[in-house]
Amino acid sequence: MDMKLLKNAIIKFASGLVLVGIMLFLPAGTMNYSNGWLFILLLFVPMFLLGGWLWIRNPELLEKRLNTNENESEQKKVVSLSLILFIVGFIVSALDYRFQLTYLPLWVTIFGSVLLLVSYGLYAEVMRENTYLSRTVEIQENQKVIDTGLYGIVRHPMYFATTLLFLSFPLVLGSGIGFVIFLAQPFLVVKRIRNEEEVLEKGLEGYADYKKKVKYRLIPFIW
């Protein structure tokens, strides 16, 4: 077992938990933010379980997922914008709760919670199917095109899962304003996909043929 990798994973997990807590509860002005606690539970428990599974079954993939250092300049811009969106969306959602600016009924929160868990399930399935799934855009040694499972439906099932995941966040937090902000995420994903496909088509053998086989990039029958 790679204890150094485990330590790194725990540090990143704990840091993320603390930062999300600060972004939610500080602007909310209270620790009695039930939607905030629900969100943390739904986000970090599956994350902890998935991270533990990867550490035991596929530590190489876990290490790739922990690496966020992009080499492509276009991807660096997308990652930076996504981070800003993430921070602003959380803070505004918490402020929305504090000042009661918008109201979402309970069924929306329940729907958002189910959507978050489904998204995480898809996220885990994609990682099971594709062991080359780095968080950065790169061509890895001996990398092959994956065209089965979810990859036989759309070319970027991970981005499909993460888009649903991001859109579920404000619904769980009960913020209409937050949802409007997070609607920018799909546009950032489209920008990331366009650049990533250029890199893959140039450097990954068989990717051009895969694009012909699987027509849709992100959403079946749409794009």
Tell me the per-residue pLDDT of 189-208, one tens digit each, with 9 for 90 and over.
888 888 888 888 887 788 88
Cα gap 32→34, rounded to integer Å: 6
pLDDT on residue 14: 92
Helices (H), the chain: 3-28, 34-57, 59-66, 73-99, 106-129, 157-173, 176-182, 185-203, 207-213
Structure confidence by residue, pLDDT tens digits, 161-170: 999 999 999 9
pLDDT, residue 21, reads: 95
Q: What is the pTM of this model?
A: 0.88
The two tokens of residue 58 are 């596929």
Q: pLDDT at position 133, please?
A: 67
CA distance 21 to 14: 11
Residue 204: the pLDDT is 79
Model confidence at 72: pLDDT above 70: no
d(CA 28, CA 43): 19
Mean pLDDT for the chain overall:
87
In the predicted structure, residue 146 carries a pLDDT above the cut 90: no
CA–CA distance, 21 with 65 (Å, rounded to integer): 22
47 DSSP assignment: H
Domains in the chain, ordered, with CATH? 3-134+142-213 (1.20.120.1630)
Q: Which two tokens stand for residue 71?
A: 């080499």
Q: How far is CA 163 from each of CA 72, 159, 168, 186, 218, rounded to the nearest angstrom?
A: 21, 6, 9, 6, 9
Do 40 and 74 contact (CB within 8 A), yes or no? no
Share of the chain above pLDDT 70, in %: 91
Distance CA 82, CA 219 (A): 20
CA distance 178 to 4: 37
pLDDT digits (tens, 9 = 90+) for 79-138: 888 899 999 999 999 999 999 999 899 999 999 999 999 998 998 888 878 776 655 555
Interval 11-61: pLDDT, tens: 989 999 999 999 999 999 999 999 999 999 999 999 888 888 888 887 877
Q: Give the type of residue at 33.
A: Y
CA distance 222 to 75: 24
What is the pLDDT at residue 202?
A: 82
User: Encoding tokens for residue 139?
Assistant: 């061509």
